[in-house]
Every structure is written in C-alpha cells, then in structure tokens.
A and B are shown apart, each in its own frame.
Chain A
Amino acid sequence: MRYLKHTLTLLVVLVAMSCGNVLDKQPLDKLQGENLFSNPEGVKLYMANLYYQLPTEDFTFFRQGFNWNTGDPNNGGFAPAMSTDEAVHTEFGDFIGNDDFQWWDQGYKLIRDVNILIDIIPTLDVNEEERKALVGESAFIRAYAYFALVKRYGGVPLITSVQKYEGDVEALKVPRSTEKETWDFVLKECDTAISSLGDSWPGGERRATKWVAYALKARAALHAASLAKYSDRAPISGTAVDQKLVGLDKSAAAEYYKAAADASEAVINSGKFGLYKPNPATPEEAANNYRLLFEDPNNAPEEAIFIKGYARPGSGTGHNYGIWFQPNQTANGWPHPGRMNPTLELMDAYESYDKPGESAPVSTSGAANDATDYTGFNASKQYKRFDTENDIFKGRDARMWATMILPGTNWKGQKIVIQAGFIKPDGAAQIMGGDPFTHNGKTYYTYGSADRTQYSGFDTWGGNNTRTGVSFKKFLNEGLNIAPGWNQCVTDFADFRYAEILLIYAEAIAESGTGDKVKGAKALNDIRRRAGHKTEIPLTINNVIRERRVELAFENKRFWDLIRRREYHTLFNNTMRHALLPILDLRVTPAKYIFVRINVPRSNPSTFDYRQYYRYIPGIGANGLVQNPQY
C-alpha cells in the first residue's frame, strides 16, 4: 500500500501540474497597438512600413511589382526601361505582358494600412502640430497610392476608411469611381497634405513635406492632363468607357494642366530647391556632375526633393542594380551582369552641342538613308572611320556619357571593350563569332579581347554582353566594387527631383498654351545649361519631350510618358529596336573603327495593343467590378 500511495502521489502531482494553465501560452511576436502608438517614435515604426509600401518606381520596381528585393529577387534583371525604347535586355525579348506592372492587391493593402492610421489619429495622445502632420502624411500616402492605381486602371473604388468584414461579402463591394473622380480624389488628397504638412521634418527625415506633396500633385496632374488631351489618339470602347470608368473628357485637360503648372510653380517659387551644380564650365564637368547626382542623390539636397533610401547590403534592404547592370568586365564574380542595354533610339535622342534644339542621330556614313538603314554591314558602303570606339559620340550631350558606358571608355579603372567584330584587309567581315585573326603580327579577336572576362559586348555567352553597343552607367557607383550577391547595392533613389518639377512646369505651359511662357522656357533651358548647353532653345512640346527623354532616362518615367501621351501604339507598331555595332576596320592602317546601325540582334518586333493603356483589373469574379476594355 505504501507504493500505491507513492504512485498515487506521483499521479496526483502530475494532474495538479497539468491543471494550471498549460495551454494559456501567449504569442511572443505580437505588439499591442496602445504600446506602439503611445509615443511618436512608435508611430514612426508604423510609418516606416507605410513608406516602405509606397509604390515608388525606383531600383526595386520591376514589371513584377515593387520592392522586388525580398524573398528571391531573381527576375533576370528585366527592368521597366526594357519595355520602352530606352533599352533592351541582353537576352529576353519579351515586351509588355498582361500581368506586368500590376499593382492592385498591394495597393489596397497600403490603403487599408493607411486608413488604419487615419482611424487611430484622433485617439492619439499627441499635440495638435504632430496630429496635423500625421493627417498630412496619411493624405500624402493615400494620394500616392491612388495615383499609382488610377494610372494603371483608370477609375477605381475609392475606399477611405477601414472596411470591416462581418461575414457579408456584398457589403464590402465598392464600385469603381469614374476616372475623373479618381484623379480629383488624388489631387484633393494632395491638397490636404499640402495644407497640413510643414516645410521639413526636424531631423531631416525623409517623410512627406508640403513640397513633396506639391511635387506629387504636379506629377499626377500632368499625367491626368495629358490623358485628357490625348485619349482620342487611341480610342477604346466598352462598358468601362460608357460608364466613364476609364477615359477623361478633353475638356478636363485645361484644369489639370493648370493644377500641374500651379503645383510645380509653387515648388519653384519656394526658393528651397535648385539644380545640382547648375553652371558647369565644360561638358566633361557636366557629365561628371550628372553622374554624381545619381551615384548618391544625398550629394544634392537642393535637387533631391524626396529620397527613397537603401540602407544595408543584403537582407532585403538593398537592391540589385549593381549586379545586374554592371558591364561584363566589372562583374566582380557575379555570374549575370550586363543586362541593361541602352538602345540606339536613346543614343539618337541626345542633342549635339553644335546643333541645339534637335536630336542628333548617330551618323555612320554619308549615305542619305544612313539613319534608317538597318540591313547590316555592307562592304561597298562608305563608312566614316574613327580613331577610337567612341569618337563617333564626340560633341554629344554630356548626359549621354554619364548615362551609358560608351565603347572604349574607362569604367572602374579599366577600358570597357565593346566590339562586334572586324573587317579583314580583304574586305571580308567577321562579325559576332569566328576565330582570331592575325594580321601584321597582331592578333585580332572578334569581341576585342581573347579573354571572355576582358570584353563586354556582343558575345552571346552567358547573356552578359551588351547587344546594343553600349552598356549602362546611370546610378552605378564607379568607386565601389559591388559584392556579387543579392541586394548588395545601397544607392539611394531620388523619387522627386527638381529637374522633373521644371520639366512638368515646362510641359504644362507648352501643352496648355497658358501660363508664363518665358518662365517655362527658362525651366527647360536651366536643365540644358546644367548639361553643358550654352544655346537656349524655345519652349516647344517636342523640345520638352526630348529633354524629358534624356534628362530622366532610366528613371522609369518613359513608360508612363508613352502611356499618358498615348504614344506607345504608334512607337511600337511591329517595331524593332536598334543597336550600334563598333567594328574594327583592318582595311586601313592603322586600323580604324566603323559603326553599323542594325536591328538589335536576336530580337523580335514589338507591338503595343490599345488595351494595354489600361491594365486589367484582377479578381473581378470576387470584387464584381467592371473590367477594363478588351480584357
């Protein structure tokens, strides 16, 4: 019995231990709202996640979405510029797929998250000033989000408070507002932000200010204005059009241009901003200034109105421009560099200093059809011969030299070799492939060097060599060898910069035919002067658009410019993009370089469908919304 007692004791002890609160565990990874919002620093933690979610079209913006640097960021380095006439990818030829550039679910998630904050603001124990700033910030974030939605989808459901799900799905369905209502909502939110926000934050934090809100309003209003003015260039029809869910009346253009001009003028008149190093002495200086501006926009606080920062290499807080777009020679062990190939179209767009006010297509021969002949090397053609691989670009806009790595120029202490082949003394062309050739005791290699790691052009191996004749430079840091891993690059991105504000102003004046034309022309020419141009050109829409192409190249503006101005379908209508082949001509001694304009090798023509001016709305089975035309 003694043992029974002991055993029973054991059992009872066990049961007693169990009866406590074994199952009452608490989660170890959750914070309660009242703790988080009790202090401005805690609010800042929540704001960090909201700003993170802003659809900023920066280094982590790809056709798959935003913040493409978490999880597996491997998208082959296909940048948005490659869906335009700015660049092609070394390998991929695809254009714009239906699923590209979607931002719907994430958009409404950000809107929900900011609505949560808006609901909380009145209950916070903060002073009036802080409260006002939070109101302004949340309006800014909401404007930013709806702007990203409306430019993709047209009119969208305007959800302005946190929806609660209580079992009734129908109660949650909100119909689309018209496109006009949606644009007006964006501008109204901008106005709320403008009136609530201050000039700056005490610690200089990268948070919305009055001026950032003005800049957003200027950008959004210009977009809306161009849509109103040019929608009829690509007429579409369908239920969504009938209900005005997509499309703006032409008559709306004037008010939007005015809003864009007013908002940009407010920034200009504030006197708080200016161009970075506005008066260079030489084009070389201009090129270097321009490069430095993007290597680190923090160098230029006067120009960088709003910066999206990248903080730490690795772990989802850096980006991948450094690894994807470095020329092959400076890959530093990364297996897949060189993906961004600026097109001949972009090279042709730059002005030459001696011919201000017009694009100067790269001229390879004296032939009359030089600029339109893409049939490849022709032995009988009289090509201009140049001493170096980049002499052909001499005298052209400084920004071209700072945006692209031109063949034979130096980058990170070495000469970047981009060569498509050579012409043997007998006139036989050896282009892209073939054996080395020895002539007068010197061995010539098709791609300019024997070693695969010592050239950056045209070889198809690895898909790492440019196929357009130039490599990419803008945003890359020349002083830094990038570590060959994911998200190692921490270059910051200027989301709004003063030059864009000047261009918005100039465009709004030029397009609307109202406003101060002198001031508009000055805005345009200020930017050109910063690029080393000494001659002023008149304010015309063509001049403004060309200036946008070259000044804002690769800042992911071109895609939306083609959309808002309804130019995509005319520009891409069974259209090939083009390349420039630097070829060593051994028919003369010493050997010289000739250049051949050709279709981008291994590429296909691209066509833009009308319907792609709007993205399709995902999930209409569940949200019950009217789909966009032709989807």
Chain B
Amino acid sequence: MNKQLLSKPICRHILPTALWRVCIALCVTLLVQVAAFAQTAADETLISGEVKDEKNSAIPGASIVLQGTAKGTTTDVNGKFSLSVPKSGSVIIVSFLGYKRQEIAVGNRTNFDVKLDPSSDELQEVVVVGYGTQRKQTLTGAISNIVSEQIKTTTHTSLAQSLQGKVAGVQIRQNSGEPGSFSTNINIRGFGEPLYVVDGVARDGGYEFQKINPDDIESISVLKDASAAIFGIRAGNGVVIVTTKKGKQGKPQFSYNMVYGRQSPTDVPKMTSALQWAEMRNDAAKNLGENPVYTPEEIEKFRSGAPGYQGTDWYKETLNKSASQQQHFISASGGEGVVSYFTSFGYQKENGLLKSGDMGYQKYTFRSNVGIDLTKNLKADLILSGLFDKREQPGDNFFNIYKGTRIALPTERPYANDNPRYPALLSGGYNPVALANRELTGYSQEVNKFFQSTFALTYTIPFVPGLRIKGLVAYDSNNYRAKSVSKAYNLYTYDAATDKYTAHTQRNPSRIGNNFTDNNRITFQGQLLYNTVIAKNHNLGATLVYEQQESHNRWAGLGREYAFFTNDQIDQAGLNNQTTSGSESEYASQSYVGRLNYDFKEKYLLEVAARYDGSYRYHPDRRWGLFPVVSAGWRVSEEAFLKQIPFISNLKLRGSYGLVGADAGAPFQYVPGFSLTGGGGYEFTNGNYTTGAASPAIVNEKLTWFKSNIQDIGIDVGLWDNKIDFTFDIYQRDRKGLLARRNVSLPNTFGGTLPEENLNSDRVRGIEFSAAYNGQIRDFKYGISGNFNFARTQNRYVERGEFLSSMDKWRGGATNRWNDVVWAYQLEGQFQNKDEIVYAPIQNGDLGNTRELPGDFRYKDVDGNGIIDGNDAIPLFFGGDPKMYYGVTLNASWKGFDFTALFQGSGKYSVRFREVYAEVFAFRGNTPEYFYDRWQQSEDGQWIPGTWPASRFNYNVGAMYAESGAWRKDASYLRFKSAQLGYTFNLGWLKKIGISDVRVYGNAHNIFTWADSFVKPFDPEKVEGLFGAGLTYPVTRSYNFGINVKF
C-alpha cells in the first residue's frame, strides 16, 4: 500500500523550481553527513557527567552539544548525561534555557560536574518562529518575544490587555470595558490585524486569541516583518505565535493561583443636576424666544432640593461604583519516564457595573498538553484545550442603558410616584433603571464552546544526525450559541389627582431569537527539519513543510414573536412572524513551505524562505502564489576588531525583504450566478411574498490576493554584558493590488457592479525601537525597558473617477496622501457680541448667521469669500487611530519582593464625539455638566461669557457643531497602565508540609491617565463607538489581590 501511495505523483501542483533546488541541496548535504558520521564513529571516547543549577539542584533536560557538530544529548531526570566524543580536540557546549552557556574543552577528562549560572542574557533565549525555534542571537527577522511572567503582571480577562505597552510594534487599543466583549484592537506596526498561530497551527482571529488563558502561555512571538512570509497568504499584517506550556521531566508540580479584584470606570463625564438643567432649559427657551419652562420658584426648589425637586443622578441609580472580578487557575505539570505533561483548569468571572446585576462574563478553560516518548526516536505530542464562556446582558444593550443614564432628565424619577412597583415612563423614552432589569426587558446570552486538538508525531531519524520528520493533525471546533429574549414591558405614569397609574407598553410584541454557529477546521502538516554543521563553522538548518487547512462553517438563526410572553422557550412563543435564516461556507488552503538558515560562525547570518500558497478563493489559474523572503544579519560584535571594545557585548545589523500576501475579497468572484440573497422581493398577490433573484454580478477571473512587500532594517546593540540592550528598526510595507471596484471610474450609466479588482495600493512606514537596562545592587535587582512605535499609512493609488477641477483634486484626492488626516474649519474663537456675528463671514448657508449667538464658534474664512463652506475646511487633525504607541516597564526585586510598573501611551490621533457628549441637549435630554459653563444672558440682556456656547436645542443652532477644534480633540495620552507588587514567602515549615512557594501580590490596571482635559473623562483610549456617541461601556480601572501557591 505504501508503494502504491508513493508511486502516485506527489501532487499536481508542481513545486516551484527554487524549492526543488533547496530540496536537492538538502539531500546532498544529508548524504555527506551520513558518510561523515560513518567515518568518524571509530576513534571516540565516552564522557559522562551531571549538570546542576546555582542551588546545586539537578537540571533535567539541559543540552550538551559537541561543538561544531549537530551531535549532542540532553540530561536525564537526575541531570545526568553521557556522550561519545572524538578523542582529541573536542569541546562540549552545555546550555539550558535561562542559564549561561558554557563551553568546556574535553581534554582527557571523562567526567564532568557542570554548574550553570543563571543568565539574564536574552540572546541565549530561544524564540519560537514559524515552524521551529531559533536562538535570539541568530535571528535575522524583526521578531519580538514575550514570556509568561511578563504577560501575567497585568490582570485582565483579555490577553490583549495584558500585552498592551509591553511589546514593541504591537499596537493595542481597548474599545470598551464591557465584560465579555473582547473588543480590543490588535494591530502589528500599523499593518492591521495579524494572523494568530497557536501551537503551530493557524487559528482564528483576535477574538479567540484574547480569550487564551495567560497562565497557559509559555511565550508569544510576534513576527513583524517579512519573516511572516513563512505563513504566506494570510500573513500580510504580521503573525502572532502563541506557544503554550509543556511539561518538563520531574516530580509533579502543582500551582494554584487566585486573583480577586474590583473594577471601576476610569472616568465618567458628569451630567447636569436638576438645578443646572432647569437653568439651562430656561436659557434654551429664552434663546428661542419662548416662555421659560421653570418659574423662579421652581428653580429655587431645585436649588434647595424640596420634596419632588430632589433631582435624580441616573448614573448612580443604574450603575454601581465598582464590580468584582475573580480568577482561579490550577495546573499540574511534570514528567516521569516516557511521559511529560502540563494540565490546567482555569476559571474567570467578571461582573458588570449594572446595579441590576444582569451583566457579566464567565469563562472556563482547560488544557492538557502531553508529550510521550513512544520510542527513543519517536515522540508523540497531544494537545487538547477547551473553552466554555458565557456572556450575559439584559434585554436592552448597554449602549441604550448607558444612553439612558446620560439623557434621562435629572428632574424625573426612576419610578412613578417613587413606587418601585411602577418603573416610570420618561419623556426621553430611555429609563435606564428599567432597561437594565432583565425581569422587565428580557436578556441576551452568548455561549462559546471552543475545542482545539493537535496530535503530532516527531521522528528523529537515528542514522542522520539533525534530521527530524514531523506529522501533525489538528482539529478545532467552535460552537457559538446566542439567545435573546426581548420582552414587552410596561412603564407607568402617575396621576396624583386620581391616584392612578397608567401603563404604557414598551417594545410590544415580545420576541425570542436563537442563533447557532458551528465552525469546524482541520489542519494537516508534514514537516522535514534538518540541522547540521559543516566544517565546524558553517551552521545550516533547513525546513520543509506541507500544510493544508479546511474549514466548514454553518450558521442558523430562529426567531419568533409572542402574542403574550409565556417563557423564554422558542416553542412557547407564537407562530406569527417567525423568521429562520442560515448559511454555510467553506474554506480551504494548501501550502508548501521551505526555509534555509545558514550562518558562518554565528557571525554572518542568512535566511531564505518561501511559501507556495494556494487559496480556494480565486480562479484555479490565479490561486497559487509564491511568497519568498530573504533576510540577513551581521553580528559585528563577533568580529575581532570589535571584540577589543569590551563594553560592546552585542552588535548586530540585520535586514529583511520579502513578499507576503493577503487573502482578501469575497470568495468565488470568478463564478457567475444569480442569487436569492441581495435581490429584493415582491408581493405578486396579496399576502404572497416572492423573494427575488438578483442578477449575476460581473465576474472577475483575474482577482487574486494582494501583495505586501515588507522591508525592514534593524540594529541590535548590547552593552556591558548586555545589561543595556537596544533595538532599532525602520520598516516599510508596500501593498499592491488592494481591492477596489472599478465602478468609480466607469460611467455610472453602466448599471452593474463590477467585481473587485486588484487596483489600489498603499504604503506603511514606521520606526520602532526598544531599550532595556538591567542592574543589580546586592540583593536589589532592577530593570527598566521601553518601546516605541510610530507608523503612518499613505495611499499610493486610489481608484476613482476623474477630478472635475484642480480644487476638486485637492479636496477629494487621496493618492500619495496620508490616510489619516481630518479636514476641519479653523477655529477662530467665539463671537463676543451681536455685532461680530453680523459682520462675520456667513457660516450657516441660506440661514446666514441668523442663528448664531454670542459665544458661538467662529471659523476662519480661508478663501476670503465671505462664506464659510466646504471650501474653507483644511486638513487640521490626525484621524481616529493612534499613529504612535509607547510603553515603559519598570521592575525591581529585593529578597522576596518583586515589583513591576508599566506606563503606556498613544499619540497622534483625535476623537470627535457626536450626540450627547458633543451637543447641548441632544435628544432633548440631559446634557453633560461641562456645558453648564456657558454663555448666557443676564436679566438685563447682557451676554455673560462662558466656555461653551449658549444653551439651545439643535434645531436652533447655526454652524456650531461643524468639524473644528471646538469638538475634535487631540486624544494623545499617557497612562500609568499597571503596577504589581508581590512577596514570595520562603518559610521552612511551608516546605515541610509540601508547599514550595507562596507568593501574594496586589496589582492595579489603568491607574492614572494624563490626557486632554476634555477627552480624559471619556477615556482617550476608547473609540467613539456607535454613532460616534462615546456611549460604549467605560474602560475600567481595577485593583486586584492575588495569591499563588506552588506545591
């Protein structure tokens, strides 16, 4: 059977010749090595020994390699090893992660007691790269690495939050703090959302990545330049590689970690009190020429808080000051005999701020990573992990509830006649207290079940040193269920005269919906890995990979309406207005990967790699693409002339250039066809609805992935034994063939939508650096590290119709321009009096300046034509995403204490709110307190200046809400992001009862923020959100206490 399979043609897609050459070269090298191995076997001697750490404990798994060869072994459970080496001139290299490497001349000795010293030298660190690992000192790509301990200094349910500010070039922005929303953007170097690879398999996006339990993670590597090309078609925005913890030989080690904390909003803008509101409302009436709404007597009552005039703080009525979060994590790891294992179970719970308690998030995770040495040369790895999480919300979304706390009038009360049985009907329609209550409004619930499994076999070929073969199968299943129950509910008004409550039904009829998604993905990988050393100085590594991935996804949704709400089961709802919908989709990719690493004496480094990638998405003739990368490095510090300068311990120059792809655009644009989705329907006879078939889209058989050329030049410097290290990168990514529709330049009488084509191009340019210093004074160890990244994107070509004029081109053009510029009016201050308004340029179209009042904003008439219009807007602001990111970490330890502090910031962007936060009396509701500081008229009609314009409804204003510096603000911020203080007990009696370590710690997140005073209360990091209203869930500050016990 084997023969039959083998005799079949390997594949109908022939590997590109370059790859073949690599294969042939590799085979030749193999043969040479086999021959060499056979020849030298005779004159050898057997040496043995033991490897210990600084505390004289045995180190299992340390590596002993004969210098200049690939020959070596590892220590056993007791730290012992034996190895046969040539009788003369042998040098062995003993190394173990986290310890200084030792080179020992064998001489005539046969027994070695090696003691390793701990090392802070990160260069020896092993970094996970695509399909393998490399030592940091021989890396030629721009790759960052972060390990478990550094991640865990921050407590947050989102892994992304625990990474923020810690890794150079990883741009992270939290969009909201809502439990279970995981709405944090992850962006590598301004490129976009990266590809996520977990334990060697490409897995789904940021949402899943953020849910990985940080305690399960060994390390995260980020491929930031063309080194991502090894992942081909999906890696145009960089790659995040997560490696989970594996077991090590040794006794079982148990670890239990518990954290409890409280979260509260970083800041919340205050709304006006009843008194302030009444005064401003009267202003608005006055400015409209209407009668005041509140009499002076009523105003006085609001001031004194007379019965019925106490005012309501809706935020306080609806939300708690803080909410709790807790995490528990237990793991067992170890290994004995042929088996090593890491198993864990985690639980996280995060409550929402709603007083009703009807919002929250819970997550359960488990992991079982088991490695089995089936034979001396054959190893099996089985990785199983799962996640179950549940997110609960009341029947109305947080946006509406929060909006209620903003716009509900402070003069109104949550309950009619203050009777808690009768939630009140408010004039603005949003009673947040009622909306937040699931008993009234219903609820929505989302449940995810992820199951990921990987099975791998690795065979170390005995007769060819350095050659391994690996086969891997991974099956992932994601299951999503959502249920929403939207109940009709009553709000009440109360008539004191008759003592009657009148019910007003809201949101009738009640509805129920169930949605299901089932995603399945299967991955196969075959790998050939080879390492060798030729003539002592030439280190060579080669990797060949075949990979394919397929997925099948299905979605279905059900909905029903209630005549009368019975319970929350779909079969108990009515049959009217039932809805069902669903869809399926498939995905597949196929890839061949080859990589060759070469270095001469670890001084001159070269890496050449390529991935030949195929995607189901495109026409068979346009499916396959080759993505090559070449990178090189020069470790100048290894040169003799630099070795004379003792304080330079490391100096490396490196550069990379490569082509990466991006699998984009709707699939199957090459297949014509009519579709019942996308067309409109028609009622041919009364009550009989026919879903229409939409005409076929015009096909594009030429559509293909778009190409990213990534270039990176970097320098790594280490000084004074790498106590100080410094990395600087400058990079550029050029994308060509971005998707656009040619319609924009086609006559719009054509009538068809052209398919997407590879037309547009852009360029990202950026710089990035990081620096670190580590020092020690006796027992006191300290360190500081920082990182900085600045990147901007320029449109190189944007498909569009011809410009009508040079003015049109200047206004509307995008080509060769930064994509992040906002056009706005130049603010010239505020009108000081009526005369200024009369003589000012006309800024409100046909209405002239009839609606402007003293205190309103005036704009610069750039073209001097007496009219402020679109032609007066100029590019004034950076757009909505930060261009600059930076972070600084401080850490220190002294005896049992450890301390970490992280500062993080972003810059070069702006925010512009709409609605409640940037419009007086938006929705005719309550308004932020800052607007109280306003221009107003005294009794005798004199204008009294204030910060903000006179209070008016939006139908009575002129151009005051136009885009200008009055509303668009620089949102740059610096944040004391997190801090952690821990103490590890070292008590003998604990050890006696079997507890090796107890560490207690406290930490805090989002501690303090420096930002523009207007922006700060909204939290500058958060995006404006739906309608630009800024009504997303507040970003939270948390204080946590944790305990970690190892036994």
B970 to chain A, nearest CB (A): 31
Does the CB pair B692–A108 fall under 8 Å? Answer: no
A-B contact count (CB 8 A): 301
Does the CB pair B747–A46 fall under 8 Å? Answer: no
A312 touching B588 in the complex, CB below 8 Å, given contacts A3-B374, A92-B955, A434-B291: no
A207 touching B684 in the complex, CB below 8 Å, given contacts A12-B6, A17-B524: yes
A24 touching B428 in the complex, CB below 8 Å, given contacts A165-B698, A165-B750, A333-B505: no
Chain A, residue nearest B494 (CB) = A451
Pick from A104, A111, A622: contact of B746, CB below 8 A.
A622
Pick from A30, A46, A157, A298: contact of B749, CB below 8 A.
A157
Chain A residues with Cβ under 8 A from B956's Cβ?
602
Does the CB pair B750–A30 fall under 8 Å? Answer: no
Pick from B459, B685, B955: contact of A204, CB below 8 A.
B685
Give complex CA distance A433, B955 in Å: 18
Chain A residues with Cβ under 8 A from B535's Cβ?
none
Chain B residues with Cβ under 8 A from A27's Cβ?
667-668, 671, 673
Chain B residues with Cβ under 8 A from A453's Cβ?
425, 493, 502, 504
Asked if A314 CB lies within 8 Å of chain B CBs, one says yes
Which chain B residues numbered 953 to 986 have a C-beta less than 8 Å away from chain A? 953, 955-956
Which chain A residues numbered 13 to 35 have a C-beta less than 8 Å away from chain B? 13-19, 22-33
Stretch of B116-124, B147-155, B675-683, B835-843 that contacts chain A: B675-683
Does the CB pair A36–B748 fall under 8 Å? Answer: no
Contact bitstring B481-501, A, C-beta under 8 A = 1, else 0: 000000010000101010000
Give complex CA distance A557, B695 in Å: 31
Chain A residues with Cβ under 8 A from B375's Cβ?
3
A480 to chain B, nearest CB (A): 12
Chain A, residue nearest B682 (CB) = A48
Asked if B45 CB lies within 8 Å of chain A CBs, one says no
Asked if B614 CB lies within 8 Å of chain A CBs, one says yes
Give complex CA distance A174, B751 in Å: 12
Contact bitstring A49-61, B, C-beta under 8 A = 1, else 0: 1111100000000
Give complex CA distance A31, B697 in Å: 12
Chain B, residue nearest A37 (CB) = B674
Contact bitstring B668-707, A, C-beta under 8 A = 1, else 0: 1001111111011111111111111111101000000000
Chain A residues with Cβ under 8 A from B40's Cβ?
none
Pick from A432, A484, A624: contact of B506, CB below 8 A.
A484
Give complex CA distance A427, B469 in Å: 101
Chain B, residue nearest A105 (CB) = B748
Chain B residues with Cβ under 8 A from A625's Cβ?
747
Which chain B residues numbered 460 to 479 have a C-beta less than 8 Å away from chain A? 461, 469, 471, 473
A261 to chain B, nearest CB (A): 32
B295 to chain A, nearest CB (A): 7
Give complex CA distance A261, B1009 in Å: 76
Asked if B579 CB lies within 8 Å of chain A CBs, one says yes
Chain B residues with Cβ under 8 A from A288's Cβ?
none
Does the CB pair A315–B590 fall under 8 Å? Answer: no
Does the CB pair B693–A23 fall under 8 Å? Answer: no
Chain B residues with Cβ under 8 A from A9's Cβ?
2, 5
Give complex CA distance A113, B292 in Å: 58
Asked if B723 CB lies within 8 Å of chain A CBs, one says no
Contact bitstring B585-598, A, C-beta under 8 A = 1, else 0: 11111100000000
Stretch of A262-270, A378-386, A613-621 that contacts chain B: A613-621
Chain A residues with Cβ under 8 A from B506's Cβ?
333, 484
Chain B residues with Cβ under 8 A from A623's Cβ?
747-749
Pick from A36, A206, A621: contact of B802, CB below 8 A.
A621
Asked if B942 CB lies within 8 Å of chain A CBs, one says no
Chain A residues with Cβ under 8 A from B292's Cβ?
433
Chain A residues with Cβ under 8 A from B293's Cβ?
433
Chain A residues with Cβ under 8 A from B256's Cβ?
none
Pick from B548, B577, B749: contact of A313, CB below 8 A.
B577
Contact bitstring A489-505, B, C-beta under 8 A = 1, else 0: 00010000000000000
Does the CB pair A7–B457 fall under 8 Å? Answer: yes
Contact bitstring A322-337, B, C-beta under 8 A = 1, else 0: 0000000000110100
A48 touching B692 in the complex, CB below 8 Å, given contacts A23-B616, A27-B668, A112-B752: yes
Give complex CA distance A452, B412 in Å: 13
Give complex CA distance A597, B180 in Å: 57
Stretch of B8-16, B441-449, B644-652, B858-866 that contacts chain A: B8-16
Asked if A309 CB lies within 8 Å of chain B CBs, one says yes
B934 to chain A, nearest CB (A): 20
Which chain A residues numbered 217 to 275 have a C-beta less than 8 Å away from chain B? none
Chain B residues with Cβ under 8 A from A48's Cβ?
679-682, 684, 690-693
Does the CB pair A604–B584 fall under 8 Å? Answer: no
Which chain A residues numbered 350 to 373 have a C-beta less than 8 Å away from chain B? none
B182 to chain A, nearest CB (A): 25
Asked if A47 CB lies within 8 Å of chain B CBs, one says yes
Does the CB pair B668–A484 fall under 8 Å? Answer: no
Pick from A53, A433, A461, A621: contact of B801, CB below 8 A.
A621
Give complex CA distance A618, B672 in Å: 29
Chain B residues with Cβ under 8 A from A165's Cβ?
698, 742, 746, 750, 752, 754
B563 to chain A, nearest CB (A): 12
Asked if A463 CB lies within 8 Å of chain B CBs, one says yes
Does the CB pair B694–A19 fall under 8 Å? Answer: no
Does the CB pair B748–A622 fall under 8 Å? Answer: yes
Chain B residues with Cβ under 8 A from A173's Cβ?
747, 749
Pick from B508, B673, B684: contact of A30, CB below 8 A.
B673
Does the CB pair B429–A620 fall under 8 Å? Answer: no
Chain A residues with Cβ under 8 A from B427's Cβ?
452, 461-462
Give complex CA distance A607, B848 in Å: 14
Contact bitstring A432-470, B, C-beta under 8 A = 1, else 0: 111100000001000000111100000011110000000
Pick from B508, B546, B623: contact of A14, CB below 8 A.
B546
Chain A, residue nearest B459 (CB) = A7
Give complex CA distance A451, B416 in Å: 12
Which chain B residues numbered 733 to 772 have a C-beta less than 8 Å away from chain A? 742, 744-754
Does the CB pair B504–A91 fall under 8 Å? Answer: no
A436 to chain B, nearest CB (A): 11
Pick from B291, B588, B749: contact of A159, CB below 8 A.
B749
Give complex CA distance A15, B764 in Å: 38
Contact bitstring A153-186, B, C-beta under 8 A = 1, else 0: 0001101000101000100111000000000000
Does the CB pair A311–B751 fall under 8 Å? Answer: no
Does the CB pair B2–A8 fall under 8 Å? Answer: yes
Chain B residues with Cβ under 8 A from A433's Cβ?
285, 290-293
Chain A residues with Cβ under 8 A from B56's Cβ?
none
- Among A17, A22, A115, A174, the most chain B Cβ lie within 10 Å of the Cβ of A22
Chain A residues with Cβ under 8 A from B801's Cβ?
619, 621-622
Does the CB pair A484–B804 fall under 8 Å? Answer: no
Chain B residues with Cβ under 8 A from A205's Cβ?
684-685
Pick from B471, B524, B588, B808: contact of A25, CB below 8 A.
B588
Give complex CA distance A624, B745 in Å: 11
Which chain A residues numbered 538 to 567 have a C-beta less than 8 Å away from chain B? none
A43 to chain B, nearest CB (A): 9
List 3 tightest A-B contacts by C-beta distance, closest first: A30-B673, A112-B751, A309-B683
In the assembled complex, 22 residue pairs joining A and B whose CB atoms fall closer than 8 Å, in A order, are A22-B550, A25-B587, A29-B583, A29-B677, A31-B675, A32-B673, A36-B693, A49-B694, A52-B680, A109-B753, A112-B695, A156-B749, A165-B698, A206-B684, A311-B688, A333-B488, A333-B507, A451-B495, A460-B924, A462-B427, A607-B846, A621-B803
Residues of B within 8 A of A (CB): 2, 5-6, 8-12, 285, 288, 290-293, 295, 374-375, 377-378, 425, 427-429, 457, 459, 461, 469, 471, 473, 488, 493, 495, 497, 502, 504-509, 524-526, 546, 548, 550, 577, 579, 583-590, 614-616, 620, 623, 667-668, 671-677, 679-696, 698, 742, 744-754, 801-804, 808, 846-847, 924, 953, 955-956
Given contacts A207-B684, A310-B683, A622-B747, 10 further A-B pairs with CB under 8 A are A22-B590, A23-B614, A24-B620, A25-B586, A27-B673, A29-B675, A298-B686, A309-B684, A309-B689, A335-B429
